[in-house]
């Protein structure tokens, strides 16, 4: 009786590539298929002195392996799917996709360079390593003061370069670090959420490639294929294909399918000098999602966007909008002044709901020793961190009642002091008052400014209920005009005025705001 054929697996020789090949080999063995591994050196492995965008051609981590498949020197190629061009050469096909490891990008920071008050957590002016154009433009969006330096080598080599001091921080795919089980205890590591830092299409997935007429290997791989992964990864790779770019152009795409809803995120730049456009789309079906992402990313954009804030607070937002065709009108509509207050009482918590509350409280007081600190939104938390005050709880939900509920779930029974302004809406306080002992202390006064604003803008961004109120005291809006409301309290105020075309960003950061604008305008 003839023995079944042994499947020859082709792989690059890096630690991560060999982990991937060995993983596939072990999975095949579980289902009764024998295999062996052959190492193949690719163009990307040979050229280590150039960044990816300076190496000619596409598929420079895959081309030689695909040639080995076509020449029948191997039967199966194991690729990091994010490195694989979106169309296979004639005669080859992707027969299976693996489970998806953590799809996020991992920010790795030397402990002596960690500063949580900055946009990414890297000390101002620090050197950050990456050779990915996609990562470069998103780094520039989130922390513009960093010096971005090309970084090549396999995963352990890159990490060692950071450890040795050549960089203050580097960014890698979380999947590679996780699969290699590397010791990262001497670094601060931050997994970057996809809505903040959009991953590469198919990041964390292995693509298993064979010849189109190899029915034996195809049958073997049918036991490994993940249909649930394929349905979202297909959206990501189809989108990349529509952009007509290789796997190293400045494009991030990420898709999930949860509770019957597909959520697709895209970040795209024309080059590594342009801040990315960011899009979020939701749909009950994956059909048409890539085309809709393409249309929104590529649509012509013009007109002026009004933002009720000084541009110095959100400088990257202004540049990002202008990079893609909009004009911007930044104009604060409120002012604040400190109100003298007595020494605060001793409480378990100090809860800051805005940066204004932080600024005016710290002009007069310092938190008592042992008092824990809570904040609403990353901006408020960073204002505290910049003052040397650690934060024990940060609420990122845009509905403040949800922030209150999350706090109560952990800290019911605690006493909480809220430094507030005279126009506080008390949303969080109300959600806490039956569960915690609440104390309020006015530390500032909000002053509504009288300003006439050009109302032909294509969209209006209101950063607080007070800003919206100040605008409407002296200006008029049409019900159909697009309004972007930072936080549910602002949206609720606008709805009470009979306005209905209102979008609430998913968070308080300037990149959340930009995503809401690009996705709805």
Average pLDDT value for residue range 350-369:
95
The mean pLDDT of 265-273, rounded to a whole number, is 92
Residues 6+ apart with CB under 8 A from 342: 441
Task: To the nearest 10°, report the CA torsion of 186, 188, 193, 198.
Answer: -80
CA distances in angstroms from 252 to 201, 202, 267, 300, listed in the order given = 6, 10, 5, 20
Residue 59 has pLDDT above 60, yes or no: no
In the predicted structure, residue 412 carries a pLDDT above the cut 70: yes
Which single residue is written with the structure tokens 């950061």?
509
CB distance 128 to 149 below 8 Å? yes
Report the Cα–Cα distance between both ends of the chain, in Å, rounded: 68
Q: Is 83 labeled as catalytic in the residue annotation?
A: yes
Query: Distance between CA 509 and CA 507 in Å, rounded?
Result: 6
Q: Which of 306, 233, 296, 235 is nearest to 461 (CA)?
A: 306
- For the segment 28-46, the average pLDDT, to the nearest whole number, is 86
Edge to edge, the sheet with strand 502-503 lists 327-330, 304-307, 459-462, 482-485, 502-503
Note the pLDDT tens digit of each residue in 413-471. Answer: 999 999 999 999 999 999 999 999 999 999 999 999 999 998 899 999 999 999 999 99
Report residue 64: phi and psi, to 5°. -65, -35
pLDDT reported for residue 235: 97
The CB-side HSE value for 489 (13 A sphere, CA atoms) comes to 21
Q: Which of 83, 105, 115, 214 is catalytic?
A: 83
Q: Which domains does the chain have, with CATH numbers?
A: 7-99+205-225 (3.40.190.10), 105-192 (3.40.190.10), 304-333+449-520 (3.40.50.10090), 337-444 (3.40.50.10090)
pTM over 0.75: yes
Q: What mean pLDDT comes out for the span 484-509?
A: 93
Residue 508 has pLDDT above 90, yes or no: no
Residues in the chain: 521
Is 379 a residue whose pLDDT tops 80?
yes
In three-state secondary structure terms, 312 is helix
pLDDT exceeding 90 applies to what percent of the chain?
Answer: 86
Residue 236: in which H helix or E strand, if any? helix 227-242
Tell me the average pLDDT of the chain: 93
**pLDDT tens digits for range 125-173:** 999 999 999 999 999 999 999 999 999 889 999 999 999 999 999 999 9
Contact present, 350 and 326 (Cβ < 8 Å)? no
Instruction: Give the 3-state DSSP-derived string for 152-186, with helices as H, strands as E and coil as C.
Output: CCCHHHHHHHHHCCCCCEEEEEHHHHHHHCCCCCC
Cα separation, 117 vs 383, in Å, equals: 7
Cα separation, 169 vs 110, whole angstroms: 6
Output the pLDDT for position 45. 55
At residue 248, does pLDDT exceed 70? no
- Percent of the chain at pLDDT exceeding 70: 95
């Amino acid at each position: 009786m003839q023995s079944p054929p042994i499947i020859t697996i082709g792989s690059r020789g890096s630690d991560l590539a060999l982990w991937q090949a060995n993983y596939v080999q072990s999975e095949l063995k579980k289902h009764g298929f024998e295999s062996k591994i052959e190492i193949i050196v690719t163009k990307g492995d040979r050229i280590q002195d150039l960044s990816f965008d300076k190496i000619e051609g596409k598929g420079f981590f895959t081309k030689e392996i695909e040639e080995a498949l076509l020449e029948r020197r191997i039967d199966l190629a194991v690729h990091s799917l994010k490195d694989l061009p979106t169309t296979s050469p004639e005669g080859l096909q992707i027969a299976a996709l693996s489970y998806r490891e953590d799809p996020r990008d991992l920010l790795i920071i030397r402990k002596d360079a960690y500063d949580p008050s900055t946009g990414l957590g890297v000390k101002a002016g620090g050197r950050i390593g990456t050779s990915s154009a996609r990562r470069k433009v998103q780094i520039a969006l989130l922390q513009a003061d960093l010096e971005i330096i090309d970084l090549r080598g396999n995963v352990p080599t890159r990490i060692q370069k950071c450890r040795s001091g050549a960089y203050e921080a580097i960014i890698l795919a979380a999947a590679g670090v996780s699969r290699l089980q590397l010791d990262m205890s001497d670094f601060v590591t931050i997994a970057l959420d996809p809505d903040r830092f959009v991953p590469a299409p198919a990041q964390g997935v292995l693509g298993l490639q064979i010849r189109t007429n190899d029915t034996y290997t195809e049958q073997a791989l049918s036991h490994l294929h993940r249909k649930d992964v394929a349905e979202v990864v297909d959206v990501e790779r189809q989108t990349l294909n529509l952009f007509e770019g290789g796997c190293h152009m400045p494009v991030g795409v990420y898709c999930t399918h949860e509770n019957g809803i597909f959520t697709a995120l895209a970040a795209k730049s024309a080059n590594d000098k342009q801040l990315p456009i960011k899009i979020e789309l939701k749909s009950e079906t994956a059909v048409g999602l890539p085309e809709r992402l393409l249309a929104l990313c590529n649509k012509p954009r013009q007109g002026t966007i009004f933002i009720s804030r000084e541009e110095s607070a959100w400088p990257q937002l202004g540049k990002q909008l202008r990079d893609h065709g909009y004009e911007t009108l930044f104009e604060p509509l409120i002012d604040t002044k400190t109100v003298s207050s007595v020494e605060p009482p001793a409480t378990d918590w100090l809860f800051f709901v805005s940066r204004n509350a932080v600024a005016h409280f710290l002009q007069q007081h310092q938190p008592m020793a042992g008092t824990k600190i809570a904040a609403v939104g990353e901006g408020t938390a960073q204002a505290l961190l910049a003052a040397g005050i650690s934060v024990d709880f940060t609420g990122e939900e845009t509905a403040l009642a949800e922030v209150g509920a999350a706090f109560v779930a952990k800290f019911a029974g605690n006493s909480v002091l809220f430094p507030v302004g005279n126009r506080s809406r008390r949303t969080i306080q109300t959600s806490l008052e039956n569960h915690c002992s609440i104390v309020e202390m006015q530390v500032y006064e909000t002053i509504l400014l009288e300003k006439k604003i050009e109302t032909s803008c294509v969209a209006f961004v209101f950063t607080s209920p007070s800003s919206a109120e100040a605008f409407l005291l002296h200006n008029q809006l049409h019900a159909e005009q697009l309004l972007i409301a930072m936080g549910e309290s602002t949206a609720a105020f606008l709805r009470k005025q009979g306005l209905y075309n209102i979008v609430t960003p998913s968070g308080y950061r300037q990149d959340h705001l930009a995503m809401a604008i690009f996705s709805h305008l």
